[in-house]
Every structure is written in C-alpha cells, then in structure tokens.
C-alpha cells in the first residue's frame, strides 16, 4: 500500500509540473544524445581517416633475395638469385596471417604498340598485386590465376603507358609488344601519380610472373615477394613466421634473404589512430560533463524549489523515506525516459550528419551504455541528494523554507 | 474522561548561535474533547511555538506532552509522522496547498501516507465527502490558483479533516483573509466543533477569538489569561449582520 501510493504520488508530482519534468528529461536527452552523436560521428570520421591511410597500401611485407658477391663487389638486395616461386607458394599456404602473396620479377624493357614505342618498367606479378598495393582498376580487369598457370600473354598497363602509346583510343583488347612478344591488354590501372620519391608509379606494365619468367626475363628465381598481412597488429608476427619458414626451407644454410615491412606507413597509421582515439575521448568527455552539469542544474533547482512541498508532505504524515522514495521514483522515470529518447536522438542525428557527409555511421554500444548510465546516475544523484537533505529537516523548517 | 491534550511545564529554547531565545517558559495546559480554543498574544509571545509543539512539528526542550495519552517525547521521527497523520489536522496561515494539484488531490494527500486508509476509490470518496463538509464539492477539480483565498483555506480545512483527527490545529487561519471570508471560515470551524471536533487556533484578532469557546492569552512565553468566552460570536448571525450592512450601504449609495 505504502509503495503503490508512493508511485501514485510520484506520477502525480511529475504530471503536476509538466514543464519542469520536460526540462529535467531534456537535460538527460541532450546529455545522452550529444555523447552518442559525437562519438558515432567521431568513430565514422576515424574509420574514414583510417581507410584513407590504409589505401596507401598498408600491412605490406617485402621479402628480397640476398646480395650477390662476386670479385669483391657486393650487389645489394635482390642481386642474388635465391628466392623462388616455391618460397612464395609456401608462404601463401602455411603463414595464416598472410592474406595476399605476389612473387615479383622486375626489369625494364622497350615496349611497342600502335606504331609508338616507350621504355618502361615491366613487372611480373600475381593477381593479388592490386589488392596488396590497394590499387584499383580504371577499366578492364586484372589478369587471373588462370593466366598465371597458363603463362598467358596478357598485360595490365598504367595510366602513363596509355598516355604514351594509346593517346586517343581505348587500349583494352589492343596488343602490346614486349621483346617482340605480343601481349593482349586486359586492364588499365587507376592513376596513382608520383610516389614520395618522385617516381611515376603509373609508368608500369604488369604481366603474370610466370609469363615474365618464361617469356621475357628467362630466369628461374624471383627478385622479391610481396605479402599483405591481415591487420597492422599481426605484421610483426607474420614477418617472424615468414623468416622462420624461409630459414627452415634453406635447411640451416646462411639466410640469403631479408624481410622488411613499411614501418613508416605503419607508424603513421598507428599515430593517426591514436590521435583520433584521443580526440574522440576528449569530445565524449566534454559532452558528458556538459550534459551532466545541465542535468545537475535542473535537478538542484527543482528540488530546492520543492522544499516547501516536502515540508507539507512531512506535516501531513509522510515519513522521510516516503519522500525519498517518491523523488527516487521520479528521477528513475525521468532518467530512463530521457535516456531512451536521448539514445534515439543521438543515433538519429548521427545518421543524419553522416548521410550528409557520406561518412560511415559507427554507433558504439559502449558510448550508448556509458552515456546512459552516466546521465541516469547524475540525474538520480542530484535528484536524490538534495531531497534527502530536505527530508531530514524538521517539517516546520521545510515549511518555512523560501 | 482524560484530556486529549495534556501539557506539563513545557519549555522551548531556540539556540541560534550565541543568543538563546526562550520562546516558551513553562506552559501547563489541559484540553478536553470538544473544546474550541483560541491562543492569542503579540508576536514573539510564544503562541506559534506552542502551536508547533502541539502539532508535533517541533519538540519541546523540557516538559511532557501527552497526546491522547501518548508521551510524544518518546517517539521517533517516523512515529511522530504517523501521529500527525492519524491524530492531528493542520490548517496554516499561508494555506500550504500543493500548487498545480486539484483540490481533490490536495485533500487526498494525508490519506496517501500512513496505513489503513482503504482503496483508491474509498480515499477519493472520503476526500469528496470532506470537500462537501466545507461546501466545495463543486470545485473538486479546480487548482488552488483558480480558487479564492477563502476557498483555498476551506480546501486546507478539508485536508486537515480527512483522517478524522483528534485535534484540528489552525495557525492564524484567517490571517490572510478579508473580514467576510474570515467569518465564513469561522462558520466552518464552529460547525465542525458542534460535530465534536476539538479545535485549537492561533489568532491575534480579538473578534476572531470571540468565535471560540475558550481564550488563552500568552505573553513572553507564559500563559497570562485562560478564560471561557461569554456571549461568543456566532458566524451565521455575524454574517447576517455583515450582509445587512452591505445592502444598507448599497441602498444609501
């Protein structure tokens, strides 16, 4: 009886002052909504920035063959013919973190097409190469695993080759002669421009590595192997596994290869992620504090204003615990209603903003829970604490309170 | 029959920092069922303090107070609250109604606290009945802001009545009202008293005190006079006089 009538009393008190109830709930709505919106938008932006960094070709591990030494002259990485296609196949099949592998054979050649000629880089690669380098196709498609197996005479060319040899026509399906061997052009790479060192990355022709080895360079070894690790976190592990695997394949002989990763790029990516996470944390923290202060203010003001009401209730026979229970029920109702509306508002507004910006929306459940719990706790504490003080007054003091 | 209220050498000292204010200095008083007493005195005479002590809103510093045979000094906060709820009814000078709450819900309030007041339907019925006693059953759904001062005070009286108290305590119930409305309110009190309810009210208006059966005058925390009122004013007669005077004034205009 006492509990049910307290619920009736609390509901009547909420209904009695609709404006105050709405303002209190609004404080919580804004608090929860702001945190969720800011964190979701921030998460979207973070994912976007990370995707842009990743598009530079992330998580790439390069394996070079050892250096060739002859007559006192040392040849530098890749000069010794020690890496094989079998090494690449072993890496692909027994290193789980390696999601893409491309044996690489490179040399420069004079190429002819359309009555024009051009000296360029001709690389033998596997079909994984565009994935590893995060390199899209402008038109046509990459050659396939089938082309690798059949030692196919197919080629994919860069933007510069198109400009130099096919100035006014579609190169797809046309023939390109390398060392007088005709290759059919199946795809054009998306333009990538110059790299950090001023080299034109689009000045390139890609052919299957088997075709390069058997038809062009006539060699049995590869100059390097490119490997893509699944995530930045596993790079170190994959690198170690590759080293172990290749060492084991050489059966105790002196290691004649070197394994490197893109430390600089990986560091940049990590630093970016760190900065964005820090920024997000700061935004969420500020939103929480602002929201919390808003809730605190409205609760403190309304409870102080209600000291007389508490006095009347005590005078007509309410126990202190009745008054406390009433205020607790009121704040629970307002906090949970406000919290739910705040979640809807936060998710809705972040959806809207990201659809306007074309960002991905990432509503974090942690943010939802933290914002809700924090706002509800602040609302309940500042609704409850002053009410507790008022309920401990003598009724006559509470009644006289102005 | 034992008195409803027995005060034995009541003292009350307020300790506000360095200055000790001795508000009530030894009051001994018996109040029997069916009495209608006015407590009078200048401001600072201790009448409001005495009233708050009677109402269990405040505890005496010294002395014993038996309400309906119960020693109030031995009770805790919650037991005092239950005592106020079951045995006492309050009417304040400033009405002290809950704002933005209908007259009916204001009257229901004391029944929502305490135990054994019945189902919501019974509570509502009883509240309506009390509003009927004070002549406001037609205004049950009105908010205090939509009622006149006299009507608000009658709602407060209905609220005080709703738990069938042993004693009805009124602290300057007519202090904020004009003379005609004051007579109206005194009429309500006289009617309730005739039905057997014990009433104690504080007032500083002599003519209002004349509606009561017993007058207690206080000065400096002590009772200086305790007399039965002879030829007391009756509200219906006085109201008739007021109305006649009013209409005469209109005729001469």
Q: What is the pLDDT of residues A187-238, one digit of tens each?
A: 999 888 877 677 888 899 999 999 999 888 888 888 888 888 887 778 888 8
Cβ neighbours of residue B193 closer than 8 Å, sequence gap 6 or more:
B34, B36, B199, B213
Q: Are A243 and A318 part of one and the same domain?
A: no
User: Is B14 within 8 Å of chain A by CB?
Assistant: no
Q: What pLDDT was estimated at residue B127?
A: 92
Of A231, A261, A291, the last residue of a domain is A261
pLDDT for A102 beyond 70: yes
Q: Across residues B212-233, what is the average pLDDT?
A: 91
Of A261, A291, A320, the last residue of a domain is A261
pLDDT for A285 beyond 50: yes
Q: Are A15 and A114 part of one and the same domain?
A: no
Contact B101 A16 (CB under 8 A): yes
A70 vs A276 pLDDT, higher one: A276
Q: What pLDDT was estimated at residue A188?
A: 92
Average pLDDT, chain A: 84
Q: Are A207 and A106 part of one and the same domain?
A: yes
pLDDT band at A382 (very low <50, low <70, confident <90, very high): confident
Query: What tens digit of pLDDT does each residue of B93-142 get?
Result: 888 898 888 999 999 999 988 777 788 888 899 999 999 988 898 999 99
User: Is B13 within 8 Å of chain A by CB?
Assistant: no
Which residue intervals of chain B are DSSP H helices?
A: 47-54, 77-87, 103-112, 120-133, 149-161, 179-194, 206-209, 235-252
Measured between CA atoms, the residue of chain B closest to residue A314 is: B81
Q: Across residues B209-237, what is the average pLDDT?
A: 91
Nearest to A394 among B57, B85, B100 (CB): B57
- In three-state secondary structure terms, B89 is strand
Q: Are A122 and A20 part of one and the same domain?
A: no
Q: Are A192 and A293 part of one and the same domain?
A: no
Contact A318 B99 (CB under 8 A): no
Measured between CA atoms, the residue of chain A closest to residue B80 is: A317
Query: A121: how many CB neighbours lie within 10 A of its CB?
Result: 17
Q: What pLDDT was estimated at residue A344?
A: 93
Q: Are A221 and A335 part of one and the same domain?
A: no
Q: What pLDDT was estimated at residue A1?
A: 47
Contact B98 A396 (CB under 8 A): no
**Separation of alpha carbons A80 and B172, rounded Å:** 111
Q: Across residues B165-188, what is the average pLDDT?
A: 89
Contact A16 B100 (CB under 8 A): yes
Q: pLDDT > 90: what percent of chain A?
A: 11
Reference B85, options A241, A5, A77; nearest CA is A5
Q: Are A100 and A249 part of one and the same domain?
A: yes
Instruction: Phi first, then psi: give them for residue A221, nearest 5 degrees.
Output: -115, 165
The domain spans of chain B are 5-252
Domain that holds residue A237: 60-261
**Separation of alpha carbons A235 and A264, rounded Å:** 13
pLDDT for A58 beyond 70: no
Tokens of B15: 């300790």
Contact A314 B98 (CB under 8 A): no
Query: What tens digit of pLDDT does each residue of B180-214 get?
Result: 889 988 999 999 999 889 999 999 888 899 999 99
Q: Are A152 and A136 part of one and the same domain?
A: yes
Total count of domains within chain A: 2
pLDDT for A402 beyond 60: yes
Smallest CA–CA distance, residue B82 to chain A, in Å, is: 5
Q: Are A133 and A186 part of one and the same domain?
A: yes
Find out if CATH 3.40.50.300 is the number for domain B5-252. Answer: yes
Of A220, A243, A261, the last residue of a domain is A261
**Separation of alpha carbons A246 and A258, rounded Å:** 10
Contact A316 B110 (CB under 8 A): yes
Q: What pLDDT was estimated at residue B167?
A: 93
A277 vs A309 pLDDT, higher one: A309
Query: What tens digit of pLDDT does each residue of A26-54 get?
Result: 888 888 888 888 888 888 877 877 777 76
Q: Are A46 and A67 part of one and the same domain?
A: no
Q: What pLDDT was estimated at residue A57?
A: 65
Residue A165 · residue A113 · CB < 8 Å: yes
**Separation of alpha carbons A98 and A103, rounded Å:** 13
């Amino acid at each position: 009886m006492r509990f049910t009538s307290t619920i009736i009393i609390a509901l009547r008190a909420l209904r009695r002052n609709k404006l105050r109830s709405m303002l209190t709930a609004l404080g919580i709505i804004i608090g929860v909504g702001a945190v969720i919106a800011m964190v979701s938008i921030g998460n979207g932006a973070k994912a976007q920035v990370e995707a842009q960094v990743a598009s530079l070709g992330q998580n790439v591990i390069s394996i070079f063959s050892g250096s060739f030494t002859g007559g006192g002259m040392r040849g530098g990485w890749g000069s010794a013919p020690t890496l094989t296609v079998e090494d690449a196949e072993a890496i692909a099949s027994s290193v789980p973190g390696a999601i893409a592998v491309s044996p690489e054979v490179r040399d420069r050649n004079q190429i002819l097409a359309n009555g024009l000629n051009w000296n360029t880089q001709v690389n033998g690669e596997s079909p994984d190469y565009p994935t590893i380098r995060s390199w899209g196709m402008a038109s046509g498609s990459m050659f396939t695993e089938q082309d690798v197996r059949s030692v196919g005479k197919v080629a994919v060319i860069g933007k510069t080759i198109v400009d130099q040899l096919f100035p006014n026509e579609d190169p797809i399906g046309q023939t390109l002669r390398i060392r007088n061997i005709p290759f059919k052009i199946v795809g054009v790479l998306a333009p990538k421009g110059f790299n950090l060192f001023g080299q034109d990355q689009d000045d390139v022709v890609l052919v299957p590595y088997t075709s390069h080895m058997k038809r062009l360079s006539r060699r049995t070894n590869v100059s390097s192997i490119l490997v893509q690790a699944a995530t930045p976190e596993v790079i170190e592990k994959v690198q170690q596994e590759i080293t172990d695997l290749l060492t084991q394949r050489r059966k105790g002989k002196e290691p004649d290869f070197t394994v490197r990763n893109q430390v600089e790029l990986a560091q940049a990516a990590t630093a970016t992620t760190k900065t964005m996470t820090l920024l997000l944390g700061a935004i969420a923290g500020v939103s929480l504090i602002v929201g919390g202060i808003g809730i605190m203010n409205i609760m403190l003001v309304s409870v102080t204003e209600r000291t007389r009401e508490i006095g009347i209730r005590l005078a007509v026979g309410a126990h202190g615990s009745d008054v406390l229970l009433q205020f607790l029920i009121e704040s629970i109702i307002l906090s949970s209603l406000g919290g739910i509306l705040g979640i809807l508002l936060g998710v809705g507004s972040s959806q809207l903003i990201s659809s306007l910006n074309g960002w991905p929306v990432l509503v974090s459940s942690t943010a939802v829970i933290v914002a809700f719990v924090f706002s509800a706790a602040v609302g309940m504490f500042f609704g409850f604490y002053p009410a507790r003080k008022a309920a401990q007054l003598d009724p006559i003091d509470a009644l006289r309170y102005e | 029959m034992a008195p409803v209220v027995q005060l034995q050498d009541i003292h009350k000292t307020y300790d506000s920092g360095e200055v000790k204010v001795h508000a009530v200095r030894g009051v001994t008083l018996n109040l029997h069922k069916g009495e209608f007493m006015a407590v009078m005195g200048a401001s600072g005479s201790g009448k409001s303090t005495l009233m708050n002590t009677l109402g269990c809103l405040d505890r005496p510093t010294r002395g014993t107070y038996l309400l309906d045979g119960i020693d109030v000094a031995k009770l805790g906060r919650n037991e005092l609250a239950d005592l106020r709820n079951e045995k006492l009814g309050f009417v304040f000078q400033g009405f002290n109604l809950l704002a933005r709450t209908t007259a009916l819900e204001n009257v229901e309030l004391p029944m929502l606290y305490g135990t054994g007041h019945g189902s919501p339907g019974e509570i509502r019925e009883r509240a309506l009945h009390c509003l009927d006693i004070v002549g406001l059953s037609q205004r049950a759904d009105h908010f205090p802001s939509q009622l006149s001062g006299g009507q608000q005070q009658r709602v407060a009286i209905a609220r005080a009545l709703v738990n069938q108290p042993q004693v009805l305590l009124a602290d300057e119930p007519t202090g904020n009202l004009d003379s005609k409305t004051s007579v109206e309110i005194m009429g309500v009190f006289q009617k309730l008293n005739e039905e057997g309810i014990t009433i104690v009210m504080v007032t500083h208006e002599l003519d209002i005190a004349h509606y009561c059966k017993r007058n207690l005058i206080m000065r400096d925390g002590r009772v200086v006079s305790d007399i039965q009122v002879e030829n007391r004013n009756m509200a219906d007669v006085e109201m008739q006089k007021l109305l006649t005077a009013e209409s005469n004034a209109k005729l001469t205009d």
